[in-house]
Amino acid sequence: MTIYLLDYGAGNVRSLVNAVCKLGYAIRPVESLEDIDKAEKLIFPGVGAFGSAMERLAATGYDKALEKYIASGRPFMGICVGMQVLCEGSEESPGVKGLGLFPTTVKKFDSSTKAVPHMGWNGTTVQQEQGSGAEAWINHAGEDESRYYFVHSYAVPATDADWEFSTSRYGEERFVASVRRGNVFATQFHPEKSGWAGLKVLRSFLECDGVVGEQRRVASTLATPDRLTKRIIACLDVRANDQGDLVVTKGDQYDVRDRTAADGSEEVRNLGQPVDLARRYFEHGADEVAFLNITAFRDLPLEDLPMLEVLKRTSESVFVPLTIGGGIRDLVDGTGRVVPALAVAGAYFRSGADKVSIGSDAVYAAEAYFASEKRLTGTTAIEQIAKAYGVQAVVVSVDPRRVYVDSPESAPTHNVIRTDFPGPKGERFCWYQCTVKGGREGRDIDVVQLVSAVEALGAGEILLNCMDKDGTNSGYDLELITQVRNAVSIPVIASSGAGRVEHFDEVFRKTNVEAALAAGIFHREEVPLQSVKTYLRGKAYQVRAVEP
Ligand code: 1PR
Examine the pLDDT at 88 and tell me if it is beyond 60.
yes
| CATH class held by domain 231-397+447-538 | alpha beta
Cα 319 to chain centroid distance, Å, stands at: 12
Protein residue whose Cα sits closest to atom 27 of ligand 1: 496
471 CB within 6 A, ligand 1: yes
367 CB within 6 A, ligand 1: no
What pLDDT score was predicted for residue 216? 41
**Mean pLDDT across 528-534:** 97
Q: What is the pLDDT of residues 8-32, one digit of tens each?
A: 766 678 999 999 999 999 999 999 9
**Mean pLDDT across 417-435:** 98
Residue with the bigger pLDDT between 445 and 262: it is 445
Other Cβ atoms less than 10 A from the Cβ of 465: the count is 26
Q: Which numbered atom of ligand 1 lies nearest the CA of 399?
A: 11
Where residue 338 falls (left for φ over 0; alpha for ψ -120 to 50; beta otherwise) is beta
State how far the Cα of 192 lies from the Cα of 172, in Å rounded to an integer.
Answer: 27
User: How does strand 400-405 pair with strand 429-436?
Assistant: antiparallel
**Mean pLDDT across 455-474:** 97
Protein residue whose Cα sits closest to atom 16 of ligand 1: 438
Protein residue whose Cα sits closest to atom 29 of ligand 1: 237
**Mean pLDDT across 64-69:** 96
360 CB within 6 A, ligand 1: yes
ipTM of the modeled complex: 0.98
* Overall fold of domain 3-217: Rossmann fold (3.40.50)
Examine the pLDDT at 140 and tell me if it is beyond 70.
no
What pLDDT score was predicted for residue 332? 84
Cα 294 to chain centroid distance, Å, stands at: 20
Q: Which numbered atom of ligand 1 lies nearest the CA of 465?
A: 31
Q: What is the pLDDT of residues 92-126, one digit of tens each?
A: 999 999 999 999 999 999 999 999 999 999 988 87
503 CB within 6 A, ligand 1: no
477 CB within 6 A, ligand 1: no
What pLDDT score was predicted for residue 334? 75
Domain with CATH 3.40.50.880 in the chain: 3-217
361 CB within 6 A, ligand 1: yes
Q: What is the pLDDT of residues 220-274, one digit of tens each?
A: 444 556 789 999 999 999 998 878 788 999 888 888 887 665 666 678 888 999 9
**Mean pLDDT across 336-359:** 93
235 CB within 6 A, ligand 1: yes
Domain with CATH 3.20.20.70 in the chain: 231-397+447-538
What pLDDT score was predicted for residue 306? 87
353 CB within 6 A, ligand 1: no
Protein residue whose Cα sits closest to atom 5 of ligand 1: 326
Q: What is the pLDDT of residues 366-400, one digit of tens each?
A: 999 999 999 999 999 999 999 888 899 999 999 99
In angstroms, what is the span from residue 124 Cα to ligand 1's centroid?
35
Examine the pLDDT at 143 and tell me if it is beyond 60.
no
What pLDDT score was predicted for residue 12? 76
Amino acid, single-letter form, for residue 393: A
pLDDT, the chain, mean: 90
Q: Which numbered atom of ligand 1 lies nearest the CA of 472?
A: 36
The best mutation among 232, 235, 237, 360 to test binding of ligand 1, ranked by most ligand atoms within 8 Å of the C-beta, falls on 237
In angstroms, what is the span from residue 495 Cα to ligand 1's centroid?
9
What pLDDT score was predicted for residue 259? 67
Q: What is the pLDDT of residues 174-216, one digit of tens each?
A: 999 999 888 999 999 999 999 998 998 899 889 876 654 334 4
SS3 40: coil
Alpha helices in 284-411 (DSSP H): 306-314, 341-350, 360-371, 381-389
Alpha helices in 61-182 (DSSP H): 62-71, 81-84, 134-137
Protein residue whose Cα sits closest to atom 8 of ligand 1: 359
In this prediction, residue 305 has a pLDDT band, given cuts at 50, 70 and 90, of confident
What pLDDT score was predicted for residue 210? 61
356 CB within 6 A, ligand 1: no
464 CB within 6 A, ligand 1: no
- Burial class (CB within 10 angstroms; exposed 0-12, middle 13-18, buried 19+) of 524: exposed
**Mean pLDDT across 216-221:** 43
CA distances from 440 to 374, 443, 451, 484 (A): 27, 10, 20, 22
In angstroms, what is the span from residue 374 Cα to ligand 1's centroid?
28
496 CB within 6 A, ligand 1: yes
What pLDDT score was predicted for residue 119? 95
Q: Which numbered atom of ligand 1 lies nearest the CA of 235?
A: 30
Q: Which of the residues are catalytic?
A: 80, 190, 192, 237, 399
Protein residue whose Cα sits closest to atom 26 of ligand 1: 496
Q: Which numbered atom of ligand 1 lies nearest the CA of 518?
A: 34
What pLDDT score was predicted for residue 265? 67
